[in-house]
Amino acid sequence: MGLDTKPLSTLHEISSYNVADFPVPTGREEEWRFTPLSRLRGLHDGTAEVTGSVVVEVDAAPEATVETVGREDARIGRAYVPADRVSAQAYSSFEKATVVTVPREAVTSKPIVIGVRGTGGAGAGAAYGHILIDVGPMAEAVVVLDHRGSAVYADNVEFDVAEGATLKVVSLQDWDDDAVHVSHHHARIGKDATFRSFVVTLGGDLVRLSPSVSYTAPGGDADLTGLYFADARQHLEHRLLVDHTVPKCRSNVTYKGALQGDGAHAVWIGDVIIRAEAEGTDTYELNRNLILTDGARADSVPNLEILTGEVAGAGHASASGRIDDEHIFYLQARGIPLDEARRLVVHGFFARLLEKIEVPEIRERVLSAVEAELAR
Amino acid sequence: MPTLEIRDLHVAVGDKEILRGVDLTVGAGETHAIMGPNGSGKSTLAYAVAGHPKYTITSGAVLLDGEDVLEMSVDERARAGLFLAMQYPVEVPGVSVSNFLRSAITSVRGEAPKLRQFAKDLKAGMDALSMDPAFAQRNTNEGFSGGEKKRHEILQLELLKPKIAILDETDSGLDIDALRVVSEGINRFRSGDTGVLLITHYTRILRYVKPDFVHVFAGGRIVEEGGPELAEKLEAEGYESYTKASA
Ligand SMILES: Nc1ncnc2c1ncn2[C@@H]1O[C@H](COP(=O)(O)OP(=O)(O)OP(=O)(O)O)[C@@H](O)[C@H]1O
Ligand SMILES: [Mg+2]
């Protein structure tokens, strides 16, 4: 460890609903050093004017209830306390929150699709949002967060997964080229509950998404999967935090990304903390980046801090590299043109991940979006 | 009539010259065997003709039916009718055999095969090579045994139907049954109006796949040529006299 390296567990100590509790980032902080602050359009320093517009529309399953509530609603902020300045800014600035409730033991008969559409464009100022997905005990739900259009948008999404419940979430960041999105997803996982998150980030000028997980009782199980495709000049950042504070929980983080074009930049931070009390934790995290052209850069930083002697399993892996020329040669030697060969290899790179998307329509859409990226 | 002409070919890897003037013509209906010691440049010849970017052609020419092969990209060469069965076939993670073969056939024929026809051809091809149909769903060459990889190469040969096939040690690592099965595949291919350049260390395969010509390769060039009887002589006497001469 370098002299100025702080333990991971101390990096995530501040959390507050109050934006003033977080100093304005300078870019030198550990949690901001990869993010080009100048492209945040004032989301981080209080200069953004709240004149943007984002429309949230929910196509719910009949078993779920959907409400639009005000800031005062007691359920908001129960599962999550903002952990950085933009998150706190969003928390203190949103006007309406969307609350989706899946009652005890209900099983949704179709995915709950939450469309988040930037309608004002990136030049129109900032917009803030808040979403709470509340899944009752033993209930089962599938939620799709579908981000499109263009905006400068910061939001927090809380997933409150009660005892024995199962929540599967797909979050699609399919923004237009100029959008800026800074988002925090937090899952609070109850006893024996299951949480599956599949994040797909394709569009936007800058997307910084921080999925985090906490557990309230033993038996919690979280899979966090992600796929991203960064094009020229795009900054796509995913910052994961799994905080194991209780015994016998499981987490798996698997993020894979492809990058192509000048200035394409992907950042992946995988922080996993196993606290002293969290005996019997089982965790693994992996990030892989496939760099398709010169001029693209991937930063990948897995951090695993283990503060207990009793783990069931703990590991991490990270690798970023080029397409293997021998793979391309083999395919070309069978007559397959270069572009098609690259397409096959990139598909192959993502294939296992894509199989994990359980909503077929979304899987198809992601597949064709990846196709479109490759055709660029 | 398909003909592969290799004329005074010089090839380097980095600044190391490996092929030092290779002349060889493979005509339609002909089978040529190349035999030679380890490191003599046999695979280099195969890769250079296929267009592997690691190998630099410093001089010479390669023509397929009179067309300049060296001007073509790797995939253009394959579509023009050249096929290289590799000594060490490459594992391509995430790309299933079935997907890979369908893309290859589509590229070579210029149109996608009908799905049912493709499935039928694939099944028939695999049966003929005693390959388990489950291989179609596995990732290309990933975790295949040495012998399974070689069968897969011959499966591709039969499905892609090139004009000229270069087979680089396709016989190495095959047990007796696999050798027979693979040889039968090569012979089915040879029954067309095609040419074969068979690189091998052993006369074992030449009993199944009878060559018309045998070339001895040493020190990056052909040092002796003859008929099938030359292979017998090599088996009995080894390469020693040639390696000394070329050193
Ligand atoms: N990438 C490379 N870098 C350096 N040397 C190379 C490279 N590729 C081949 N060579 C050298 O070129 C020579 C010929 O190699 P090649 O693989 O063509 O031999 P070969 O006749 O096929 O041998 P084998 O019978 O073992 O397959 C060897 O000395 C080898 O080390
Ligand atoms: Mg060789």
Residue-wise DSSP of chain B: --EEEEEEEEEEETTEEEEEEEEEEEETT-EEEEE--TTSSHHHHHHHHHT-TTPEEEEEEEEETTEEGGGS-HHHHHHHTEEEE-SSPPPEEEEEHHHHHHHHHHHHHSSPPPHHHHHHHHHHHHHHTT--GGGGGSEETTT--HHHHHHHHHHHHHHH--SEEEEESTTTT--HHHHHHHHHHHHHHHTSS-EEEEEES-STGGGTS--SEEEEEETTEEEEEE-THHHHHHHHH-SHHHHHHH-
- Ligand 1 near B54 CB (within 6 A): yes
Q: How far apart are CA B195 and CA B67, in angstroms?
A: 16
Strands A112-118 and A54-59: antiparallel
- Ligand 1 near B200 CB (within 6 A): no
The superfamily in CATH containing domain B4-246 is: P-loop containing nucleotide triphosphate hydrolases (3.40.50.300)
Nearest to B94 among A331, A332, A348 (CB): A348
Let me know if residue A148 belongs to a domain.
Answer: yes
pLDDT for residue A111 is more than 90: yes
- CA dist A130 to A91, A98, A101, A116, Å? 7, 6, 14, 11
Contact A347 B94 (CB under 8 A): yes
pLDDT for residue A269 is more than 90: yes
Nearest to B78 among A332, A340, A349 (CB): A332
Q: What is the mean pLDDT of residues A226-248?
A: 97
CB atoms within 10 A of CB A215: 29
pLDDT for residue A5 is more than 80: no
Domains of chain B, residue spans: 4-246
Q: What is the mean pLDDT of residues A66-93?
A: 96
> CA angle A184-A187-A193, nearest 5°?
165
Contact A344 B74 (CB under 8 A): no
Give the pLDDT confidence score for residue B99 in this predicted structure.
Answer: 95
Residue pLDDT, tens place only, A309-332: 899 999 999 999 999 999 999 999
For residue A107, the 8-state DSSP code is B
Give the pLDDT confidence score for residue A9 in this predicted structure.
Answer: 76
Q: How far apart are CA B189 and CA B26, in angstroms?
A: 15
**pLDDT band (50, 70, 90) for residue A1:** very low
Q: What is the mean pLDDT of residues B13-28?
A: 96
Label residue B56 exposed, middle or buried (CB < 10 Å: 0-12, 13-18, 19+).
Answer: middle
pLDDT: which is higher, B85 or B233: B85
Give the pLDDT confidence score for residue B83 in this predicted structure.
Answer: 98
Domain count, chain A: 1
Give the pLDDT confidence score for residue A13 in this predicted structure.
Answer: 80
Residues of A in contact with B93 (CB under 8 A): 327, 348-349
Residue pLDDT, tens place only, A120-135: 999 999 999 999 999 9
Give the pLDDT confidence score for residue B246 in this predicted structure.
Answer: 54
Residues of B in contact with A355 (CB under 8 A): none
Q: Which of A256, A326, A329 to mutate to test the interface with B (most CBs of B within 10 A)?
A: A329
Give the pLDDT confidence score for residue A3 in this predicted structure.
Answer: 42
Domain containing residue A306:
3-323
Residue pLDDT, tens place only, A352-374: 898 888 888 889 988 888 888 88
Q: How far apart are CA A273 and CA A12, in angstroms?
A: 10
pLDDT for residue A348 is more than 70: yes
**pLDDT band (50, 70, 90) for residue B44:** very high
Task: Give the global pTM.
Answer: 0.87
Q: Please provide the average confidence, as pLDDT, over all residues in chain A.
A: 95
- The sign of the dihedral angle between the CA atoms of B144, B146, B147, B151 is positive
Ion ligand 2 neighbours, Cβ < 5 Å: B 42-43, 87
CB of A355 within 8 A of CB of A254? Answer: no
* Lowest-confidence region among A10-19, A95-104, A173-182, B178-187: A10-19
**pLDDT band (50, 70, 90) for residue A266:** very high
Give the pLDDT confidence score for residue B245 in this predicted structure.
Answer: 59
3 state DSSP class of A96: coil
- Ligand 1 near B80 CB (within 6 A): no
pLDDT for residue A294 is more than 70: yes
pLDDT for residue B186 is more than 50: yes
> pLDDT > 70: what percent of chain B?
98
Nearest chain A residue (CA) to B106 = A336
> pLDDT > 90: what percent of chain A?
89
- What is the B168 CA–ligand 2 centroid distance (Å)? 7
Q: Please provide the average confidence, as pLDDT, over all residues in chain B.
A: 94
Residue pLDDT, tens place only, A156-212: 999 999 999 999 999 999 999 999 999 999 999 999 999 999 999 999 999 999 999
Contact A344 B86 (CB under 8 A): no
Q: What is the mean pLDDT of residues A215-244?
A: 97
pLDDT for residue A2 is more than 80: no
